[in-house]
Structure 1
Amino acid sequence: MTQRIVLASSNRGKLAEFGALLAGGGFEVVTQSSLGIADAEENGLSFVENALLKARHAARASGLPALADDSGLCVAHLHGAPGLYSARYAGGHGDSAANNAKLLRALDGVPPAQRDAFFICALVLLHDANDPAPLIAEGRWHGRVLDSPRGAQGFGYDPLFLPHGQSRSAAELEPTLKNRLSHRGQALAQLHARLAERHA
């Protein structure tokens, strides 16, 4: 039976990835923007807290189960920055070009061996707004920050991220491969496993 859920995001790149990742998974996904629901305020102190805030907001406003993620890029040399502020690292929310430019400036002159980074995705699924036992999954995708952007696919910091074991940036990978390897793909695979355990 197909379950209707609201996806608590207005990020078009994320919506496209989640659409592909959730295809055939027994979910009918509706976006919060299609229901006229505005973004929640992200004032949590961790990725999981922010994902919970977004999921509860969307579930409360829609009356539907809600799926939310909070994700970002953490760079070791920058003590975890841009981290929670990845989408608004350069000031404005979602300005990828400005965010990438600021990241390159922050790492100017730093050698490749010291540019380790990982993408993180915290994923939360709530049955309803008051669900006391949400399903929570986390994925991490390790690699390093390149010294210039490469590739035109993906979104956000993808053109600057070289995953470990790959010769192409995240923005040069075919979407199906990226979805299999990525932090979001890993978190969703975990979530599917937890759902299967819950319904076993």
Structure 2
Amino acid sequence: MTRRIDGKRLLVASHNKGKIGELEFLLGGLPIELVTAGELGLPEPEETGTTFVENARIKALAAATAAGEVALSDDSGLCVEALDGAPGVYTADWAGPDRDWDRAMRLVEEELQKVDARAPEQRKAKFVSLLCLAWPDGHTQEYLGEREGTLVWPPRRGPIAFGYDPVFVPDGESRTFGEMTAEEKHGSIWHAPGPLSHRARSVKELVEGAFPPGTKP
């Protein structure tokens, strides 16, 4: 049975500053207070799943159980067609323990060169954002957002880029996510043509499916 968020506070089960910043931007203006796992001193659980859904559930349930309140997690990643979907759920791992995203982008490019993927049609990829809401009693709900595009090299970045944004050009655009402002990257959640980023799309599904009817910023 689908549940609605009926409280005034939502726990974001993440320690990733870039991800938290995007969720705060996307959920800003909604009648709910966001608090993070880091602010509550909650530990980061080991992500042992092999799918975005499994890892999102692990994080959301760990936070909901520890804090005794509804928690929201995001498991996201870059899936490259020529690399059989890699790095996928291991997207952050490719950045190493220090989360060196320049290293991660370079590794992706090196792997593409190994399979001689040079033409744009050989460099198709998609970003995935899987949001999970979890309640302390173990109930969970998931919301999926995806965005297709093409990988470029070298990276092209602007002032707010993080992760693999500087090498990802979404379909229908000429700039990378890394060259866009937050408003340009995420688009309008509530009005046509709709969300541009994968995370904006999953947040739209979340708000429409789990917040009280008619909720908007």
User: Could you tell me the percent identity over the aligned residues?
Assistant: 39
Q: Which deviates more, 149-158 or 48-57?
A: 149-158
Give TM-score, length-normalised by structure 1: 0.93
Selected match of 1:150 from 143, 156, 166? 156
**In structure 2, do the counterparts of structure 1 residues 197 and 28 end up closer, same or farther at CA, with 3 Å as the change threshold?**
closer
2:170 is equivalent to residue 160 of structure 1: no
RMSD of aligned alpha carbons: 1.9
The alpha-carbon deviation at position 94 of structure 1 amounts to 2.2
Secondary structure of 2:129 counterpart: strand
Q: Runs in 1 of length 4+ with deviation above 6 angstroms?
A: 197-200
Give, in whole Å, the separation in 2 of the partners of 1:7 and 1:138.
Answer: 17
Which structure 2 residue ranges, 5 or more long, are not aligned?
1-5, 188-195
2:209 is equivalent to residue 191 of structure 1: no
Selected match of 1:114 from 114, 122, 126? 122
Equivalent positions of 1:72-151 (< 5 A) are 72-92=77-97, 94-108=99-113, 109-110=116-117, 111-126=119-134, 128-132=135-139, 134-151=140-157
Q: Output the amino acid matched with 2:185.
A: K
8 Å contact 1:75–1:81 — kept in the other structure? Answer: yes
Give, in whole Å, the separation in 1 of the partners of 2:46 and 2:34.
Answer: 22
Give TM-score, length-normalised by structure 2: 0.86
The alpha-carbon deviation at position 197 of structure 1 amounts to 7.2
8 Å contact 1:135–1:191 — kept in the other structure? Answer: no
The number of residue pairs the alignment matches comes to 198
Secondary structure of 1:33 counterpart: coil
Q: Output the amino acid matched with 2:137.
A: N
8 Å contact 1:87–1:95 — kept in the other structure? Answer: no
Q: Output the amino acid matched with 1:96.
A: W
Give, in whole Å, the separation in 2 of the partners of 1:63 and 1:55.
Answer: 11
Give, in whole Å, the separation in 1 of the partners of 2:138 and 2:65.
Answer: 11
Higher helix proportion (structure 1 or 2): 1
Selected match of 1:18 from 17, 23, 26? 23
The alpha-carbon deviation at position 148 of structure 1 amounts to 1.0
Look up the match of 1:38: 43
Give, in whole Å, the separation in 2 of the partners of 1:33 and 1:89.
Answer: 23
Q: Which deviates more, 134-143 or 71-80?
A: 134-143
Which structure 1 residue ranges, 5 or more long, are not aligned?
none
